Structure 1
Amino acid sequence: MCPTPTQQPGLLTTPSTDQANEAIRVFLRARAGRALRPSERAEYSRLLKVYTRALRCELEKAA
């Protein structure tokens, strides 16, 4: 479900899937050639959740 002000106050806007995907690409490109550190893995996980949320919102709008 897409976030709304009453459901997730800190997440009033959801980026597009393109924006979320680009954020992931930039994040990983900056760390190319080495394993992610634990804190970086946590950030990567957060970025994947943002992308998944954006994808779900786009699918809901299309339905």
Structure 2
Amino acid sequence: MCPTPTPPQAALLSPSSSTTDQANEAIRVFLRARAGRALCPAERAEYGRLLGVYTRALRGEMEKAA
């Protein structure tokens, strides 16, 4: 059974941090809070959403560099 749902994670980094860094930190915080146990379906969905944010940010940075 899934514990009480938690709101989507937002990384609290400095304004100079890239979106990719912020998304990566949000993933780390999310997973660290759930260490030692399997993710419930709602948590897996949120993790997937966070990965999508990270992937889009990374692609955007790669496009800027190109």
TM-score tier, shorter chain, comes to 0.7 to 0.9
Check if 1:21 corresponds to 2:24. Answer: yes
Structure 1 distance, partners of 2:64, 2:19, is 12
Corresponding position of 1:5: none
Gaps of 5+ in 1: 1-14
Identity %: 84
Tell me how many residue pairs correspond in the alignment. 49
Moved over 2 A (4+): none
Identify the structure with bigger relative contact order (alpha carbons < 8 Å, sequence gap 6+). 1
- Identify unmatched segments of 5+ residues in structure 2: 1-17
Q: In angstroms, what is the RMSD of aligned CA positions?
A: 0.9
Q: TM-score scaled by structure 1?
A: 0.75
Cα distance in 1 for residues equivalent to 2:23 and 2:41: 21
Distance in 2 between residues matched to 1:22 and 1:35, nearest whole Å: 20
**Number of the residue aligned with 1:40:** 43
- CA drift of 1:40 comes to 0.1
Q: TM-score, normalised by structure 2?
A: 0.72
